Structure formats: structure tokens, C-alpha cells
Structure 1
Amino acid sequence: MKSLKLISSAIAMLMCFVSMAQERTITGTVTDQSNVPLPGVQINIKGTKNYAQTNYDGNYSIQAKTGDALIFSFIGMDSQTIKVKSSSVINVALKESSNQLQEVVVVGYGESTSDYSTRSYDRAERKKAKTAATASVALQGKVAGVQVQNNAVYNPSQNVVIRGAASVSPKNEPMYIIDGVPAKANQMSKINPNDIKDLKVLKDAAATSIYGNKASNGVVVISTKNELYKNLTEQELDKKLNIMPIPSEPTQEDYDSFVENAFESPRTAPLSTFSIDVDNASYTNIRRFLNNGQQVPKDAVRVEEMVNFFKYTYPQPKNEHPFSINTELNDSPWNSKNQILKIGLQGKNIPTEDLPASNLVFLIDVSGSMSDANKLPLLKQSLKILVNELRQKDKVAIVVYAGAAGMVLPPTNGDEKQTIINALDQLQSGGSTAGGAGIELAYKIASENFIKGGNNRVILATDGDFNVGSSSNSDMEKLIEEKRKTGVFLTCLGYGMGNYKDSKLETLSDKGNGNYAYIDNIQEANRFLGKEFKGSMFAIAKDVKIQIEFNPKQVQAYRLIGYENRKLRPEDFKNDAIDAGELGSGHTVTALYEIIPTGVKSDYLAEQPDDLKYTKTETNSNNYSDELATIKFRYKKPDGDKSIEMVQVIENKAVALEKASDDMKFSSAVAWFGLKLRDSKLVSNKSSEDIKKLAKEGLSNDADGYKAEFIRLVEAVK
């Protein structure tokens, strides 16, 4: 009996030990004492290298065991250490550090002097941090409407935000004045707080009336005790503050180059044929450049993807076809003698409950290049948004690749959300990038679990930096064209900057019955994977092609705006073996043509060729004076192999731009801005003010504010 009791005790102790040693997901929210969420708080497991950070909403998730000590640290706050007990939810409220700046004064006009003490912080838990405090940190939490955000742990610098003025940039960066000299944010952040004599913050009219429009986001004015930096040039200030020069443009990003579509004559090129494009990665990538204050690479601008980022109010289809066709003809806003033809498609909106079951494979890049905060950490948060949209009948598997590829989650029902989320939370980056092996494995799993009549799709999430196995664009193109034959669709999600490989992701999506989005922030993830989940993930028509024949009696010349890498040969239109774009549930697609009417003199037209000896180019003698063009569409059902054709005649009824629809005005403004960014030689007027004016005239149906955000982007480019 005694031995039995000993065995029982041993088993109980063993079970207790196993329970204590078992890792589980700890979640929670970190706030300040005012219950305001704190983004960027670092959570370390004491004695290990494991850590996590809070997201934009102050939420975090980390794998830990009972008994582990979690250390919560944030610049300007006292660190807290909390032991993991039975609960899997730990919420923390951090207190401001007691040794901090005593006073900061916000002034409009006049002089103000205050005494400052150095603000120091406990950074023992912040790995390799070398700088104790900066001038920008001195502003944190001390002025209403001023926010300081850390950019990195190893090279600390801060973004200072002074609320009260609209800005396209989420940083809302103010102007800096150091000892009377305009300075940059990284220069201000390097100043020793011990050297500061006086610091002022000017906002709104108080700032602009003194410093002009450059101060529309506020001004931070710093005076040092001995005027250490007075009369220095920018280069001299950098040298004195030991700031190394950094390149202003990313040097390893990769974009396919292309030549802008030229004007063509309907007499010599009677047919214009192209594939639809529902991608909008170019727009969000451009937004990232502009928000970071960088110049946009010319080849990063694909005008059709900019136009198709926005949704327009086209009517739902009323017949057996999966989309409606809508056209509009107006005067051109940038070339007054020309006209713009808008062609809009509206995909049928299918109720969520009627959508087919999904067989999804998340193919996730966990290589070393994905370690940045805007890569794998943002990627995991993005896919959680998609997971929340899944139903019980949907299935998800997760494949990862770095030096090799492997499956970390077998096909799992969509209602087992926590299981899927836990698998995502455990992903860490490291190693090289065997993208080809990952694609092979993902398609293998998708094919093995293929749902006939369902939504079978691989979702590739990466920065596109493949460097092991199939890596060149041509190799990847051949691989994905072969995999397309399985009937599995492809969605590409791009992340990151600096080494971003746009060209590879565009190639994959174009050739893989797919679509492509660039996720620059969590809001974009919520739009593409949440609000527009049905359009992004459920195709209602595939291989959608457009062919238009212009009437030479009415059209002297035409050009397709954008779609340069989607153009097809005339004979490709009826060839069902030729791949084209996919249309999702509720999706809209818009294409714009610029037209030079017959009889108009134009500087953009080449010399007309002499009459040909052997080939006649006479116009059909039939009277089609009321027709501008005839447009044809071909598409296949998602699981079909034979295309279906639609035909529609476009009447020659142009109206003045001021009488155009809001959709026409706004889509034209977006295209105009794209042509400006590409420095198009076919646009005579590139005024940002005129672009903004037209966009504002078309500003409607903007519940989520995307169109208003576009107008702010235009304002940023002079």
C-alpha cells in the first residue's frame, strides 16, 4: 500500500511537472496609466532570447510556460516583470518613468524659457540598445497631441507626431529647428538632452505664420545651452552629431521595366486586346514610398493597378453573365483636344453563405530576410484577419520555406481558428529562401485536398526574395504555369521594403491564375483580406479578355492607359490556351483609353505612312457614324475550359468633363496622377493642383476614406 501511494505521488508530481513545462500562448494588452494602448512594447521571457512586441492596438502574443517571468519594457516607462501562472491572459498597465522631463511648453508667438532635466530610462532589457535618451523622447507624453514612436531597437530613432494638421504620412513629421537652423528628425534625435536649454512646440497657425507651409505639421524648436549647432550646414550638423550618410532610395528592390503604351491608328492597328487586371499592389507600394518621403521608382508605377485599387458604383449584372459592362466617354482632363473612354466591369456579388468551400494553403516565407517588423510579424497579423473570415467547411494548411520547405499545419477546418492562429504565432524567421521548393509543396498539398467546384487556392506571403532553387523570373514563370494546370488559383501577398522583389510576385500572380496585393500596413491587410475577402479569394470568372475595335471614322488614334504587361495579340483573344486575369465576387475592373478624334491635330501623332501599294486601308463604306467602337469580352467559368463571348457597341456620345460621373472624374484623376509619377511624355498638364481638383470633384462613395487618402497623396507630390 505504501509503495502504491509513492507511485501515485510520483505520477502526480510528474503530471504537475509536465503541466508546468508545457508551453502555451499568452496574450494580452499593454496600456499606459490612462488606459491608452501602447504599440511597440517589448515582452521578453527572462533568461531566454524569446520576445514579442505589441501591435498597433497594444495587443501581444507570446509562447511561454507556467513559471516564466515576462518582462514588459517600453521607452519612457518603468519595466514590469510578471510571472506566468494559470491564466493565459495577462494585461499590463505601465507607469511613466519617475526620472523624466519636468516641463515642455507649447507656444504660438513670443519667447518662453523652461528648465529641463535629463530623462533617463532603464534599457537593461532592450537588447544592444546604446543610447540612453534623446531630445525627441523628451516630448513623449508631455504635450497634448504629441506622440513619439521608436523605429528600431538596435539603432534607436523616433518619429514625432504633432496632431492638429492633416498629413498623408502616418508619421505626420513636424519641422525641426536647432539653434535657428532647420534640421532633420535623425539629427534632432542625436542631441544630448543635457545640452538642451529650451524646447518649444508650435502647432497650427502659430507654426505656419512663422515658418510657412513647411511647418504645416508643427514645429519643434530646440535651443542648446551654448548654441552648439548655430550656423552649421546640414552636412556639418551630420558630422558633428556623428551621423553616417544613408542612401535615400532603396537599392535592392526589383521592378520590371516597361514602355508606356503609345497612340495607335485604327487603320493600321484595328484591334486592341488585353487581359483584365484586378491587382492593386502598385498603388499600395506607391503609397508606402510617398508616406516614407521617398521618390517613387518609375517602373513601380502601374497605372491600371492604381485605378483598380478603388471601387466604383457600377450596377450588378442582370443576366446570366458574371459581370456587367459599363462605358462612358468624356473630354480628357490632361489633353483638352482628346477624349477618355472608360470601360468598367462589375463582378456579381455572391452572398457569403453561397460561396463554395475553400481549400487554402498558406505558403509563408520564414527566411532571414523576413525578420523586419513590416514583414513576418505583419504577415502573421494579416493572415489572422483572413482566418477570422473562414467557415467550418473551409480548410487551411500552412507550408513554410526558408533553407527548405515543410508543412507546419496539416489541413485544418476553418472553425478551429485558435489552432491555426497558434501555428502562425510560432513562426520565426531565419535561413535562406527556397521559394521553388515551397511552391512545389504547397501545390502538392492543395492538389491532394482538391475540392471539386470549390475554391482551391495557394496564398503566397513573402518579400519575393527567392535565392535558392528556382529563383529567376523565367524559372518561376515556367514553374507556376505548370502548377496552374492543377486548377489551383494563386494569391500573392507582398511585404517589406529595401529588398522587395515586386517583379517576381507580379510574374507569379500573372501566370498562376492569381491576384497580387502589397501589404504596407495592417489597415491594408484588413481591407484586402477582411473587407474585400470575397473579391480577393473567390473567383467568379477566369481568363477574362477584352478586345476593342475602334471606328476610324470617329477615332484618329487611341492608346490604352496602363495594362502594358497585360496586352495580348489579336489572335490570342479566341485562343482558350492563353491565360488572362481573374475576376472575384463583387470586384470592379476599370480600363481607360485616351482617344484622338478624327480631324484633330495632335503633337502626339507620328507621321502617317504613305499609301501602300499592295495593301488597302480603306474604311468600311457602311455608315457607322454613331458608333465609336465595338467591344468584346471572353471569359471562362472558374472550373471551365471553354470561353464564353459577350459583345457590346459603344456609341459616339462624348460629354464635357464637368458633366461626367463621379466615377469618371475620380478614375481619370488617379490615372492622371500615375502618368505624372511615370513622367509620361504623352501628358501636357502635370499639375498636382489640377489633379487634386478633379479628384475632389469625383469624391463620393468613400465610406472608408481611401479616396480622401489618395487626395492627400497627390498633395505630397509637387
Structure 2
Amino acid sequence: MKSIHYFIMVFLITGISYAQELTITGTVTDSNTNDPIPGVNILVKGKNIGTQTDLDGNYKIKVSIGDVLSFSFIGYELEEIEVKKDSSIINVTMAIEAAALEEVVVVAQGIRRERKLLGYSVSTVSSESINTSRAERRKARRARKKSNTSLTNAPSGRVAGLTITNSNGHTNSNSSVIIRGANSVSASQQPLYIIDGVPVDNKDVKRIQHINPSKIADVQVLKDTKATSIYGSRAVHGCIIITTHKGNYKIENNESYEEIVENNYEKVQTSPLSTFSIDVDKASYSNVRRMINNGQQIPADAVKIEEMINYFEYDYKQPEGDHPFAIHTEYGKTPWNKETQLVKIGLKGKEIPQDAIPASNLVFLLDVSGSMNQANKLPLLKRAFKLLVNQLREKDKVSIVVYAGAAGMVLKPTSGAYKNEINQALDNISAGGSTAGGAGIQLAYKIAQENFMKNGNNRVILATDGDFNVGMSSDTDMKTLIEEKRKSGVFLTCLGFGMNNYKDSKLEILADKGNGNHAYIDTMQEAQRVLGKEFGGTLYTIAKDVKIQVEFNPAKVQAYRLIGYENRMLADEDFVDDTKDAGELGSGHTVTALYEVIPVGVRSEYLNDIPDLKYTDSQINKTFGDELLTVKFRYKRPQESKSIEMIHVLKTGKNKVSKDFSFAASVAWFGMKIRKSKYINNDQIKDIVILAEENRAKDNQGYRAEFIRLMNSYQTL
């Protein structure tokens, strides 16, 4: 009888506990503008449970009645709300934080905060206490014969609540850091390390723990979970903030970017033509966003201004008639230089409904090497590709090829109707081994060609951090291979994942030579954009080898320079050469290019006089006095080899520029700012922010608002 009562009691208690669990949803918005705030950290106080808002400011989290939700985001005041019985929806408005600039502490992402306003415990160890005295150093040198000194031993015992242990009691063994307090770090859980403002991946913690103490200026320890208002959920177990004397300590970083030499001004009388290939890639923007969010310094060569401009959608009209894209041009004043004018050239690709897109023959080529064994690489990759799988139709086919030390097929060609089978194959993939990228590409193209669909969409989708290091690995070899394979009619899409060894230069070459596109996926929100919202444009090409040639009227324009597109420049004669490769345009894609021009009669510090020419007639034709420029476009239909030409003339006159014009100018301005361009007379970030804010216009997805927040974050770095 007692046993029955016991089980009834357990059953009732369990039922009550389950009844107290709730799924909370809601939206987080700015109290001043009512705009949604993406990326807000939401934590359950005292528990290791958390989530973030999406690009629309929405969130979803499972909690219990009585839990306290903590809402935090950089630059906003912390909000805490207790979960009540009727709290199935909790909408939150966050106010901008007003912090004084005196007595500051440099914390995450380089943001400066007043120590007394931080709301969490900060303990500091100075360089004087880290570095030993002269006598102690002599004693330490003798002791080093038996053991090695590591950073983690330096602050132990000097910071309240900080304990450092070794797995076997020896100094040179693996260290564990424990920060005392609620939900404190256990021996198996390390705190978040920040060095010179840059968060450190777990895989690199051992390197941090063995920094020479003489290089360290101070160490700060954050012991309260309120530190997550700055660092997010990664700081739930506390933070150790290390500042070196030089302030520029770098963990080994093998990321690579092709060198970019900024376009100079060209004089119209000697170089009237400007020719380049379009570029629909957007990888640079999401990669720069990742660096700003992580508080990293941004390499100049990582900034491709054309990819930043093209990340955003513009209100271009749909094409009419037989051509697959429409043309839009306008010009106005340059915001960063009063003496020049800005010309915007825009293309809008025809939007093909998803059900009208031809059947697809897709081969997923997935990097499963050891370098992909990080949360923002293979796990993110799997979730991202499931978004694509969910949109497949019965007539579509998917194969999966993986490569590490060798390459192999893990899913034979399978109809899009069998989504569970495809997703299960993705779930079964794990990382480990070296990277036989060349072998993987060979096998993927072989399978794509064996299952080729005439008049269909035949494409290899490569997902990797770009770290090819076994077999055919040089950029030249890869370029030659892809140029040969594209003759088969199989296109290539390259998706980059991860950090520290991300090979932007290699992936761009592959996508460029493979008649495809290149994107960098840093979050699930970006995956949703690339493989969800822009599914058709990412996978279905409506025009290939699209080239642009602009001829400027010397009666109106003295000199010009193309902003960005440095690695897409073509020789003038390439424009009419159908054997020369150029960029592809996908369904619904937009392409925008900006020229900065110096009008006739304006003296500019950027131009030098050139001698008069003896054999060349320098007389200006005044017949076309109202024309500023003529734009010519050449493109091929996806299955054809002969190009088609379009011509568009931009005339002068009174015109009011669109908000899209000014917003695109703000993006270019910011790109030049972080590239440290020599062509901007005004580099004040506040002026760039104002221009973007005034011209944000229609922003359904919140991308423009996010750009403004990124610029505000960049100011604090």
C-alpha cells in the first residue's frame, strides 16, 4: 500500500513540474524606434539555458514558472522579467544605455564601459603582480628546469574567487580555471577567454594559457552571469580578460584573402572605357560582420566593397520584354567628397517562381576534415543544408559527397521527395582527417555529369572553410580543374563556414571559374537568407558571362574611378570576346556598381596634369552634350555560347536621387572607411551612420538596421 502511495506521489509531483514548464515567445524591439533587435542574448538566470533573437527580433525559449529571463545586447540596458503563469508571450523593449566615459574598462569587442556601471564583479591583476621580481625571476629560472611556467598560474590566489588547478598536480599539465559563484565553472568547463578584445575559441585556450607573463599588462576576471550582457551566453561561466602590453596579440590565424589594390582615377580623354564583370557574391559583408561582432581587427583585403553593396536589396523594377534583367541608373553628389559626383548602375534579374524553376541535379560536396570540427562549421553546415533540403521538389535530385583524407559518396542520387533520407545522411556525417579537396571536387563533378539533366539546373554546392591541403591544393591547379569542369554545363556554388582558417581567396577563385557564386555563412540567419529566402537566385542562373562596359562623355566627365570590383576588371577588348569568362546572374538577383566621377572644370588633388599628345586628336565631340555616359551590357543565356548586347544612356539634368542611391553610398563609404581608402575626404563614422539612418527606407528583413548597428559597434573598437 505504501508503495502505491509513493508512486502516486511521484506521479503527481512529476505532473506538476511538467505543468510548470512553458514555451515563451516574443519580440525584442528598440524603445526609441520600435525596430526589432536581432542578436539579443536571452538567458535564464541561474541556469545554463539561453537563446538569441532572429533577424526580426523574435525568440523562443522553454522555461519554468518563476524563472527570470535576462535580455542583454551591446549598447542597451539590461532587462530582466520574471515568468508568470500567463506569460506565454513576453515582448520586450530595450532602452539605449547611457554610460559615462570616465573610469572605463575595456571589455568585449573593444567596447568601453564605466567600471561602476558594469553590474558585475571585475577583479584585476596588474602587470606588476603578474611579472615576478628580479630575485623571483632568478629563482623561477632554476625552477623551470623541473617545470614550465604558464599564464594560468600567475593570477591564482591573487584574484578573489579564482582557482587554477592541474589535472595531475604539475605546472605543465592541462590547467582548469574555476570561478567561484552561482553556476560557477567546474573543472571540466572553462570560462570564456578574451585577449586584447578578441574572444578565444575553446580549441585555442591552451595557447592562451601559455602566454609569456611578461607580455601581459593585466588580467581581469568577471565572475557574475551579468557579464553576458556584454559577451552573450558564452560568458555564462565567467570571463578572463587578458590585455597585453602591445594590445595586438593574435592567436594563429590562417585566414587568407587575395590582395586588393584600390582602383585609381582614370582620365576620360586617355581611357574613356571602363570594363568589368558583374559580381553577385556577398561573402565579404557577412565575413566583415562576423569580425565586427567578434571585436576583431578587419584585414583591408577582406573588405570587398562591391560585395558589401550587393548584400542589400534595392527597389529596382522587374525586367520587361525578352531580356532577363532590367537596367537602372542615377547620379548625384558624393557624400564623402563635395567636389565629385556619384553614379549608380543597377541590374535587376527576372524573378522566376520556384515552381517554374527547371528540375535540379544537385551534388552537395561537404568538407568533413578535422578543421571543420567546430560549432560554427560542420554543425552549422548541417542545419543550413536542411533549409535547402526542405525546399526541394520531387523532380529534384540530391547526391552527397564528402571529403577528408579521401573522398566518397554518402548518398546516391535521391529524389527531393525523400527529405528524411537526405537529412538522415546529413546527420550521420562527422568531421576528422585531412582535406583532399581536389579528389572531392573530381568525384562531385563526376556524379553531377552522370546524372546530368538536359535543360535543368546542374550544380555542385561546395561547403567548406576552404582549407584544401592534400593533393591538388594550389590555387592554380584548382582554377585549371574548375575551368575544365565548367565546360560540362555543371555550375558551382561555394559556401564558406568558420573562422581562423577560412580561405576566402580560394573559394572566390573556385566560384568565379565555376560559373557560380560565393557566400559566407556565419549564422543560421545568414543560412536562411542564402539557402532559404534567396534559394532561386543562389541555385538557378538566368544569365551567364555578364559584362559591363561604361563609356564616359569627356564633355561632362574629366575622370572616373570604379568603387570596388578590383578583382573583376576586364580589358576593354574582353567585352566583345565571347571566350572570356564573366559573372553569373541568378533569379531575382540585383547587382549595383558605383562610379565616383570628377566633373569637367573641377580641380582635384587626385589628378595630375599629363602632357599634350602629338599624334592623338584630343578634340571633344560636343554632339552628345546632354549625355553623361553610355552603359553597354553583354550576357549569354545559360545554355548558349553567343552573347547578347544591351545599351543604356544616362543623361544629365535635374534629378532627385533615391533613398537606395544614398544607402548604397553609405555602404560604400563605410567600406572605404575600414579599408582606409585614400579617396575619402571625410572619414567620420557618425556622418556615415546618419546617411544610412536617413535612407534606411523599406527594411522588411532588418538588414539595413543591422548594418547601422554594426557601424555603431565598429566605432567602439
Aligned to 2:207: none
Q: 3-state DSSP class of the match of 2:323?
A: coil
Aligned to 1:637: 637
Distance, in Å, in 1 between the alignment partners of 2:62 and 2:117 is 42
Q: CA contact under 8 A between 2:673 and 2:683: conserved in structure 1? A: yes
Distance, in Å, in 2 between the alignment partners of 1:200 and 1:626 is 65
Q: CA deviation at 1:612?
A: 1.8
1:134 paired to 2:179: yes
Residues 639 and 248 of structure 1, relative CA distance in 2, 3 Å threshold: same
Q: CA contact under 8 A between 1:330 and 1:654: conserved in structure 2? A: no
Residues 634 and 407 of structure 1, relative CA distance in 2, 3 Å threshold: same
Instruction: For residues 249-294 of structure 1, give each alpha carbon's deviation from its aligned partner in whole angstroms, at most 9, with x where no partner exists.
Output: 6621100002100000111111100000000000000000000001
Aligned to 2:612: 611
Q: 3-state DSSP class of the match of 1:324?
A: strand
Q: CA deviation at 1:615?
A: 2.6
Q: 3-state DSSP class of the match of 1:278?
A: coil
**Residue from 174, 188, 191 that aligns with 2:221:** 188
Aligned to 1:362: 364
Instruction: For residues 138-182 of structure 1, give each alpha carbon's deviation from its aligned partner in whole angstroms, at most 9, with x where no partner exists.
Output: 379xxxxxxxxx9997644289xxxxxxxxx9x9xxxxxxxxxxx
Q: 3-state DSSP class of the match of 1:689?
A: helix
Distance, in Å, in 2 between the alignment partners of 1:488 and 1:31 is 54
Coordinate RMSD, CA, aligned: 4.2
Q: CA deviation at 1:235?
A: 5.8
Aligned to 1:347: 349
Instruction: For residues 584-636 of structure 1, give each alpha carbon's deviation from its aligned partner in whole angstroms, at most 9, with x where no partner exists.
Output: 111110000000000001011122x211222333323x511100011100001
Residues 422 and 546 of structure 1, relative CA distance in 2, 3 Å threshold: same
Residues 617 and 310 of structure 1, relative CA distance in 2, 3 Å threshold: same
Distance, in Å, in 2 between the alignment partners of 1:111 and 1:549 is 57
Distance, in Å, in 1 between the alignment partners of 2:691 and 2:335 is 8
Q: CA contact under 8 A between 2:550 and 2:632: conserved in structure 1? A: yes
Residues 529 and 616 of structure 1, relative CA distance in 2, 3 Å threshold: same
| Equivalent residue runs for 1:259-408 within 5 Å | 259-408=261-410
Gaps spanning 5+ residues in structure 1: where? 1-29, 38-55, 59-73, 79-90, 98-103, 141-149, 160-168, 172-182, 192-198, 205-214, 221-228, 239-244
Q: 3-state DSSP class of the match of 2:346?
A: strand
Q: 3-state DSSP class of the match of 1:330?
A: strand
Residues 570 and 356 of structure 1, relative CA distance in 2, 3 Å threshold: same
Instruction: For residues 396-422 of structure 1, give each alpha carbon's deviation from its aligned partner in whole angstroms, at most 9, with x where no partner exists.
Output: 000011111111001100111010000
Aligned to 1:71: none
1:427 paired to 2:471: no
Aligned to 1:653: 653
1:157 paired to 2:192: yes
Q: CA contact under 8 A between 2:22 and 2:64: conserved in structure 1? A: no
**Residue from 689, 695, 700 that aligns with 1:698:** 695
| Equivalent residue runs for 1:161-240 within 5 Å | 187-189=220-222
Letter matched to residue 633 of structure 1: F
Letter matched to residue 709 of structure 1: E
Residues 441 and 201 of structure 1, relative CA distance in 2, 3 Å threshold: closer
Q: CA contact under 8 A between 1:329 and 1:654: conserved in structure 2? A: no
Q: CA deviation at 1:93?
A: 8.5
Q: CA contact under 8 A between 1:280 and 1:518: conserved in structure 2? A: yes
| Equivalent residue runs for 1:523-534 within 5 Å | 523-534=525-536
Distance, in Å, in 2 between the alignment partners of 1:113 and 1:574 is 65
Q: 3-state DSSP class of the match of 2:576?
A: coil
Q: 3-state DSSP class of the match of 1:545?
A: strand
Q: CA contact under 8 A between 2:555 and 2:600: conserved in structure 1? A: yes
Q: CA contact under 8 A between 1:129 and 1:154: conserved in structure 2? A: no
Aligned to 2:490: 488
Aligned to 1:662: 659
Q: 3-state DSSP class of the match of 1:514?
A: coil
Distance, in Å, in 2 between the alignment partners of 1:152 and 1:386 is 40
Q: CA deviation at 1:353?
A: 1.1
Q: CA deviation at 1:319?
A: 1.3
Aligned to 1:15: none
Letter matched to residue 666 of structure 2: A
Q: CA contact under 8 A between 1:265 and 1:556: conserved in structure 2? A: yes
Residues 388 and 602 of structure 1, relative CA distance in 2, 3 Å threshold: same
Residues 234 and 36 of structure 1, relative CA distance in 2, 3 Å threshold: same
Residues 235 and 395 of structure 1, relative CA distance in 2, 3 Å threshold: closer
Distance, in Å, in 2 between the alignment partners of 1:233 and 1:313 is 46
Q: CA contact under 8 A between 2:399 and 2:413: conserved in structure 1? A: yes
Instruction: For residues 568-591 of structure 1, give each alpha carbon's deviation from its aligned partner in whole angstroms, at most 9, with x where no partner exists.
Output: 001100111111111111111000
Aligned to 1:675: 672
Q: CA deviation at 1:186?
A: 8.1
Aligned to 2:153: none
Q: CA deviation at 1:716?
A: 1.9
Q: CA deviation at 1:187?
A: 3.6
Distance, in Å, in 1 between the alignment partners of 2:219 and 2:66 is 24
Q: 3-state DSSP class of the match of 1:717?
A: helix
Q: CA contact under 8 A between 2:23 and 2:62: conserved in structure 1? A: no
Residues 151 and 417 of structure 1, relative CA distance in 2, 3 Å threshold: farther
Q: CA deviation at 1:429?
A: 0.6
- Percent identity for Structure 1 against Structure 2: 55
Q: CA deviation at 1:715?
A: 1.0
Letter matched to residue 624 of structure 1: F
Q: CA contact under 8 A between 1:105 and 1:112: conserved in structure 2? A: no
Gaps spanning 5+ residues in structure 2: where? 1-17, 26-38, 50-60, 68-77, 81-98, 100-115, 122-159, 168-172, 202-215
Number of aligned residue pairs: give it.
558
Distance, in Å, in 2 between the alignment partners of 1:666 and 1:484 is 36
Instruction: For residues 411-457 of structure 1, give each alpha carbon's deviation from its aligned partner in whole angstroms, at most 9, with x where no partner exists.
Output: 10011101000000011111111101111110111111111111110
Q: 3-state DSSP class of the match of 1:385?
A: helix
Aligned to 1:40: none
Q: CA deviation at 1:184?
A: 12
Q: CA contact under 8 A between 2:22 and 2:62: conserved in structure 1? A: no
Letter matched to residue 706 of structure 2: E
Q: 3-state DSSP class of the match of 1:503?
A: helix
Residues 129 and 156 of structure 1, relative CA distance in 2, 3 Å threshold: farther
| Equivalent residue runs for 1:500-579 within 5 Å | 500-579=502-581
Residues 151 and 503 of structure 1, relative CA distance in 2, 3 Å threshold: farther
Q: CA deviation at 1:233?
A: 10
TM, length-normalised to structure 2: 0.71
Distance, in Å, in 2 between the alignment partners of 1:508 and 1:271 is 28
Distance, in Å, in 1 between the alignment partners of 2:461 and 2:377 is 15
Q: CA contact under 8 A between 2:461 and 2:494: conserved in structure 1? A: yes
Residues 480 and 154 of structure 1, relative CA distance in 2, 3 Å threshold: farther
Letter matched to residue 615 of structure 1: T
Aligned to 1:441: 443
Q: CA contact under 8 A between 2:436 and 2:470: conserved in structure 1? A: yes
Aligned to 1:473: 475
Q: CA deviation at 1:132?
A: 7.5
Stretch moving more, 309-318 or 692-701:
692-701
Q: CA deviation at 1:669?
A: 0.3
Letter matched to residue 646 of structure 1: M
Distance, in Å, in 1 between the alignment partners of 2:611 and 2:451 is 61
Q: 3-state DSSP class of the match of 1:649?
A: strand
